[in-house]
Structure 1
C-alpha cells in the first residue's frame, strides 16, 4: 500500500505516530550505515569498527568536485579563460579522491543496503566524467609532452604553458624562432575570444585558416576532378563539405556542453541517493512513494535554480533572461524559454499518465489517489501541448490571420503590438500552481504530513503567482534591451519554486516518521532549514555567474588589446 492509503479519507489526521499501524503496512526498518557508524548496532546486527573518515573524505571531495569546481570550470570555459585548465584539473583530482575513498569505505563496511543503486549511479557518473575529461586532458597532455621535450623546463613555463595553455613568445622567438609565426600568434589570441556557440567553439580546436594554398586548392577542385574523373562535380562541393563538417562540429559542441552541465544535475541526484542509502530509507514498499517525492521534488528544485540563473542573466544570448535578442534576417530565432518549459511539462504529463497504474492489479478499480494523480498528469500533458502551440510562429500567424485579412493590408504593412516582442505564456506556471494548490489539500494519515504537504503546495502556488506578476508587468512594458531586465517578481518566483521542491523531498513518508519519532515534527524548523539551504544555493549560483561575467570581461579586454597589437604590426 502507498503512504496515502493507510487511513480512510473519512478519518481526521492523527496527531501521534501509530507504530502498530505502520508495521501493518511496512516491514521493520533494517539496520543502516548511520546506525553502524555511530555505534547503534550490535555485532550480530551488523555492528563493527567504523571507517567514517573515508566516508567524510568521500563526501567532502565529491561535494567540492561537482558543486564547486565543476560549475566554476563550466563558467570559465564559457569565457575561454586560461584558468579553466587548473580549475578543471582540480575537479578531476577531487573526483578521483572521492571515488577512491568511497570504494574503500564500501569495502571495509558491511553491506547494509541490499540492491543499492548508489554504487551503479556513481560508476555512471565517474565514467561520464572521465569521457568528458578527455576534451581537456588531451591538450594538457600534449603540452606536457612538449614541455618535457623542450629545453626550458622552468616552473613558470610549466604553469603558464602546460596548465594555462599560454605560449611564451620570448622563448619561441629567441630559442625556437623557426617554430613561431604571426599566424600562430593570431591563433593563440583568437583562442581567447569569447564567441557565441558556433561550430568554431569546440574546446582547444584550431580556428579555420584561410591560407593561400587552401584557397588555391579550393578554387581548382572543379578542374582537377574534371580532368581525372571526367565527372562533373558542382563547384560548391567544397563549401557543402565544409558546411557538413561545421554542422557536425556544432552538434558535437552542443552535445558536449549539455553533457557537462548535466553532470552537475546528475551529481545532485547521486548525492540524494547516497543520503537515502546512508540513513537507510526508501526500501521495500516505501520505494515507490520515496521515488515519487525525490524525483518530482528534484525537478521543482532544479527548475527553481534554473529560473534564478535566468533572473541573474544566464542564457541572455538566446533571450531567456527576460531580454530581447537580435536574430539575423533569414535565420530562425532560438526557441523561447516558455517553449522549453511547455515541452518539459508536456513530456512529464505524457509519461506520468501511464505510470500511475504501475504496481496495480490488472482490472482493479481506480483508487482515489490514482484518479488524483492521473488527472494532474493529464493536465500537464495537454497544458504543455497548448503552451507549445502558443509558442509556435505558425500557430500565432494562423490565430492572427482573420484579423489580418480584415485589415486588407499585407502582413508586412501591419504593425505588431509591443507585446509580440516577448513571450507571455502562462500555461507552464499554471500547471505548477494548480499542482501546488491540489497537493496542499492532499489527504494524509498524520497532521504533520498534512502540514508539510500544504507548505510545499503553497510554495508552488506562490511561484505561479509571482510568475504571473512577471508576465503582467512585462506585458505592460516588454523588454527592449539585450541586457537582462531582472524583474524582481522572478527572483521571488524562483526562490519559492526551489524551496517548494526541497520541501517536497522532505515530505517523504519515512522522513516525516523520523521527525515525529524524534520530536522534530516542527513546521518552523523545516521551513527555516529549507530557506537556509536555498539561500546557500542561490548565493553560490550568483557567485558562479559573477565569476563568469568577470572572466568574459577580462578575456574581451585581452582580445581587444591583442587585435590592436596585430593591426599595428
Structure 2
C-alpha cells in the first residue's frame, strides 16, 4: 500500500522536473525554424534581385535604350560607306578612272566617322556580346582598305612610268622617221643643179614636214599629265613615288604586286558584305554559343545566292567579256591576255 501511495507522488515530481526541459526543447525548435525561414527569405530576395538586375540590362544592343543615337549613326555611316561608296570606288578602280582616288578618299572618310561613333558607343555601354568577331573584323577590313588605297597610289605611278616609257619610245620613232625623211630629201636633191637648189630654197619642198606638225616630247607630256595628276599635284610625295616606284615596276615584284592588288580590289565588296552581316548579328544578339554554327550555315547559304546573283548581273552587263562569259565566241590571245584566253 505504501508503494502505491508513493508512486503517484514521485511521478508528479518527475513530471514537474522535466517540464522546463520540454519547454526549452520546444523553444529551440521554434528558434531554428525561424532562422531557417529567415535564411530562405534571404536567398529568395537575393535570387529575385539578381533576376531583376538581369532583366534591367538587355541581352542585345537592339533593346539597350541608352546612347542609341551613336549606334544608329554607326549603322548609317557604315552602310553608306560599304554598300554605296565602296562599290563605286571599286568600279572606278577596275576601270582605272581618274575618279578612283577621290572615291577611295570619300570611302575612308565615311568609314573613319563610322569607326569613331563605334568607339564612343563602346566606351559608354557594357559589352552585351562578349568576344564577338565583328569588332576584330571591322578593324581588319579597315586596315585592308587602307592598304588598298596606298596600293592604288603605287599602281597609278606604275601606269605613269609605263606611259612615260611609251612616250619616249614613240618620240624616238618619230625622230628616226624624220631623219630618214630628211636623208631621203637631201639624197634626191643632191643630183639637181644649183638653180633647182636655189628655186627649191625659195619655195617649200613637197617632202618637207611643216613645223607645226612636229610635236616635241614636252607636248606629249603636257597632254597626259593633266589627266594623270588630276588629284595628285607635284609635291614631295609625288617626287618620292616617281623615284621609288620604277624600281619595283619590273620582274617578279611587279607581277606579285598586280596579283595582290587585283585580289584586294575584287575582294573588298565581299569583305564589306561579311562585316555588315556580322554587325547585324551582334546588334541583334543572335547565334550565341553553339548556335554560331547554325548562323554561319545560314550566312554561307544566303551569301552564295546573293553573290551568284551579283555575278550573273555582271555577266549580263558584259563585265567578264575578256573571259568569254558574256559572248558565245571566246576572245583569243591578241585581244586578251594569254591567261584570260586559256580559261
Cα displacement string for residues 499-532 of structure 1 (whole angstroms, at most 9, x for unaligned residues): xxxxxxxxxxxxxxxxxxxxxxxxxxxxxxxxxx
Secondary structure of the corresponding residue to residue 64 of structure 2: helix
TM-aligned CA deviation for residue 264 of structure 1 = 1.2
Secondary structure of the corresponding residue to residue 287 of structure 2: coil
Total equivalences in the alignment: 214
TM-aligned CA deviation for residue 299 of structure 1 = 2.2
CA contact (8 A) 2:322 2:340 kept: no
Deviates more, 1:283-292 or 1:74-83: 74-83
TM-aligned CA deviation for residue 324 of structure 1 = 3.1
Match of 1:108 in 2: 124
Secondary structure of the corresponding residue to residue 130 of structure 1: helix
1:265 and 2:270 matched: yes
TM-aligned CA deviation for residue 82 of structure 1 = 2.3
TM-aligned CA deviation for residue 80 of structure 1 = 3.0
- Structure with the greater alpha carbon radius of gyration: 2
Q: CA 1:137 to 1:326, structure 2 compared with 1: closer, same or farther past 3 Å?
A: closer
Given candidates 149, 152, 166, the residue that maps to 1:133 is 149
TM-aligned CA deviation for residue 139 of structure 1 = 9.9
CA contact (8 A) 2:61 2:285 kept: yes
Secondary structure of the corresponding residue to residue 149 of structure 2: helix
1:79 and 2:107 matched: no
Considering fraction of residues, name the structure with more helix.
Answer: 2
The answer for unaligned runs of 5 or more in structure 2 is 1-57, 157-216, 230-240
Match of 1:304 in 2: 309
TM-aligned CA deviation for residue 103 of structure 1 = 1.3
Deviates more, 1:131-140 or 1:289-298: 131-140
Q: CA 1:69 to 1:247, structure 2 compared with 1: closer, same or farther past 3 Å?
A: same
Q: CA 1:61 to 1:130, structure 2 compared with 1: closer, same or farther past 3 Å?
A: same
Secondary structure of the corresponding residue to residue 305 of structure 1: helix
TM-aligned CA deviation for residue 266 of structure 1 = 0.8
Given candidates 99, 104, 120, the residue that maps to 1:88 is 104
Q: Map of 1:307-318 to 2, 5 A cutoff? A: 307-318=312-323
Q: CA 1:300 to 1:83, structure 2 compared with 1: closer, same or farther past 3 Å?
A: same
Given candidates 115, 123, 139, the residue that maps to 2:139 is 123
CA contact (8 A) 1:61 1:98 kept: yes
Match of 2:225 in 1: 188
Secondary structure of the corresponding residue to residue 81 of structure 1: coil
CA RMSD of aligned residues (A): 3.5
Cα displacement string for residues 248-267 of structure 1 (whole angstroms, at most 9, x for unaligned residues): 32431232122022111111
Distance in 2 of aligned mates of 1:184 and 1:60: 44
TM-aligned CA deviation for residue 293 of structure 1 = 1.3
Secondary structure of the corresponding residue to residue 127 of structure 2: coil
Given candidates 60, 68, 81, the residue that maps to 1:32 is 60
Q: Map of 1:316-465 to 2, 5 A cutoff? A: 316-328=321-333, 332=338, 334=340
Distance in 2 of aligned mates of 1:103 and 1:282: 24
Q: CA 1:190 to 1:90, structure 2 compared with 1: closer, same or farther past 3 Å?
A: closer
Distance in 2 of aligned mates of 1:271 and 1:305: 17
Secondary structure of the corresponding residue to residue 82 of structure 1: coil
Given candidates 285, 289, 297, the residue that maps to 1:284 is 289
Match of 1:245 in 2: 250
TM-aligned CA deviation for residue 73 of structure 1 = 1.5
TM-aligned CA deviation for residue 289 of structure 1 = 1.4
The answer for unaligned runs of 5 or more in structure 1 is 1-29, 38-49, 141-179, 193-203, 210-240, 340-569
TM-aligned CA deviation for residue 136 of structure 1 = 4.4
Q: CA 1:331 to 1:259, structure 2 compared with 1: closer, same or farther past 3 Å?
A: closer
Given candidates 57, 67, 78, the residue that maps to 2:73 is 57
Q: CA 1:78 to 1:323, structure 2 compared with 1: closer, same or farther past 3 Å?
A: farther
Distance in 2 of aligned mates of 1:284 and 1:328: 53
Structure-1-length-normalised TM-score:
0.34
CA contact (8 A) 1:121 1:270 kept: yes
CA contact (8 A) 2:92 2:99 kept: yes
Secondary structure of the corresponding residue to residue 310 of structure 1: helix
Match of 1:151 in 2: none
TM-aligned CA deviation for residue 275 of structure 1 = 0.5
